[in-house]
Each structure stands twice: as C-alpha cells, then as structure tokens.
Amino acid sequence: MWGRNQKETLARLKAWNDAVHQTRGRIDKIFGTRKRGYGLRRMRWHGLAKAVMQIHVTAIACNLRRTLNILAVAA
C-alpha cells in the first residue's frame, strides 16, 4: 500500500493515473494500430535483429501513411 489506509492509497493512485492518462492513451493507440493494421501480433522472422528490422520497417510504413493523410488534409 502507498498510504496509511485504503482511502489514501486510492487517492494517490487516482492522482498518478490522471497524470499519465493522456500519454498512455496515445502510446497504446499507436501500438494497437500497428498490431491490428500492420501485422505485428507475430514476428515474421526468427532472431532479434530480424525482429527489430520488421518493427522499424513497420514504423516507417505507419509514418508514411500518416504523412500522406496529413498532406491530403492540408491540400
């Protein structure tokens, strides 16, 4: 427990959750999109180096799509 009693502990936990809520939501959305839309539920190749390469290529593809969407809206 973080506090002396349950009420104090829940208050501190709520304060901490409120502080990280927005950041956590943005990051989880990015990971969820990459898992759902770009096939990162499973690694295609074995080995750490190849897995890292797959994640990097997926991030590049995701960023290119975001860039095209932003440019389409601006035009």
- Does residue 36 share a domain with residue 47? no
pLDDT for the residue 57: 95
Low-confidence residues in the chain, pLDDT < 70: 1-3
- Does residue 34 share a domain with residue 23? yes
- Does residue 17 share a domain with residue 4? yes
Global pTM value: 0.65
Selection from 31, 34, 57, 32 nearest residue 45 by Cα = 57
Domain of residue 66: give its range.
43-75
Taking each helix axis from N to C end, the angle separating 48-74 and 6-38, rounded to the nearest 10 degrees, works out to 90
Q: How many domains does the chain have?
A: 2
- Does residue 27 share a domain with residue 10? yes
pLDDT for the residue 21: 87
pLDDT for the residue 2: 62
- Does residue 51 share a domain with residue 24? no
- Does residue 12 share a domain with residue 33? yes
